[in-house]
Structure 1
Amino acid sequence: MELTKEMIANSFINGVDCSQIIMGEWADRLGMSKEDAIKVSSAFGGGLGVGETCGAIIGGMLVLGMKYGNTGENQQEQKDILNAKRAEFLEKFKKAHSHCSCRELLGLDFSKPEDVPKIFESGILFEACPRFVRTALDILDEMEN
């Protein structure tokens, strides 16, 4: 079942962040438990909590790392594969949304105490962020095929 905007927004309301939604959706395909996938991606909400890289992008990068990443030294060929996948993902995300940082995407900054209530009160978290998550999931699905 495809996640809807409402399902994603409901996850936010219940304390699950962008990167966690993406990793949770990919857990089975990555050979991980959903619980471990959500836990390992739990520190990235709100653009690392400071408005930096969007959590949907970080979730995408975690998926790509698990799927294509190298596992140690002297694996340049594998690193090259991952780097190409990362570039492809970022290009597609930027084409869809122009930016990669949470602060630029939202126009508000999680690192500024005065912006945090605005993020929740304005509804932008529940309008814009589900689109970013859906875009990241769609890109990952497209890249897998």
Structure 2
Amino acid sequence: MTLTRADDAAAIFTEGYSCSQAVCAAFAEDFGIDRDTALRLSCGLGGGMAHTGNTCGAVTGALMVIGMKYGRTAVDDLAAKEKTYAVANEFISEFLRRNHSVSCTDLIGHNLSDPKELAIARKDNLFHTKCPRFVRDAGEILEKIL
């Protein structure tokens, strides 16, 4: 059985890494980025960017992957910038279709910037019951659009 990048992302998440780290690290080596570097770069994005409940880490990790593939490295390479934005928008549209939001607060159902609500989300094991689906969705969408 061939493992997919979505499987890799899910496995990395299960190891205990954040959603952003799982998605970013699962694809990084395809673009010449080692796993440790990918884990470091994406570390602050979990929990909707450092537990602020903003954009879901699976989404921000995916946007990093899209940037690794299409992102511009020359300031005047507007075609690369536009391609990156187009693919990012395609990703976001499909993630929204599947999950109805890209907001961690909406997806988890708690405002993670509030320590009491973060504690409830942890107590209710929401990061382990809800987030695996978002990580897998991000991986599947990336596999399709890259």
Which residues of 2 match residues 130-141 of structure 1 at below 5 A?
130-141=132-143
Counterpart Cα distance in 2 of 1:76 and 1:7: 36
- CA contact under 8 A between 1:8 and 1:130: conserved in structure 2? no
What's the C-alpha RMSD, in Å, of the aligned pairs? 1.7
SS class of match (1:32): coil
CA distances 1:68-122 after superposition (whole Å, capped 9, x unpaired): 0111211111111111101100000000000011001111011001111111111
Per-residue deviation, 1:28: 1.4
1:80 aligns with 2:82: yes
Which residues of 2 match residues 82-97 of structure 1 at below 5 A?
82-97=84-99
Counterpart Cα distance in 2 of 1:47 and 1:54: 4
1:10 aligns with 2:11: no
Structure 2 partner of 1:119: 121
| Structure 1 moving runs of 4+ over 4 Å | none
Gaps of 5+ in 2: none
SS class of match (1:53): coil
Which residues of 2 match residues 1-145 of structure 1 at below 5 A?
1-2=3-4, 3=7, 7=11, 10-11=14-15, 14=16, 16-48=17-49, 49-144=51-146
SS class of match (1:138): helix
- CA contact under 8 A between 2:13 and 2:19: conserved in structure 1? no
Q: Which amino acid aligns with 2:14?
A: N
Distance 1:69 1:106, change over 3 A: same
Distance 1:5 1:137, change over 3 A: closer
Identity %: 31
- CA contact under 8 A between 2:9 and 2:139: conserved in structure 1? no
SS class of match (1:140): helix
CA distances 1:14-72 after superposition (whole Å, capped 9, x unpaired): 3x101100111112111111111111111111101200000000000000011101112
Compare 58-67 and 2-11 and name the one that shifted more: 2-11
SS class of match (1:43): helix
Distance 1:8 1:119, change over 3 A: farther
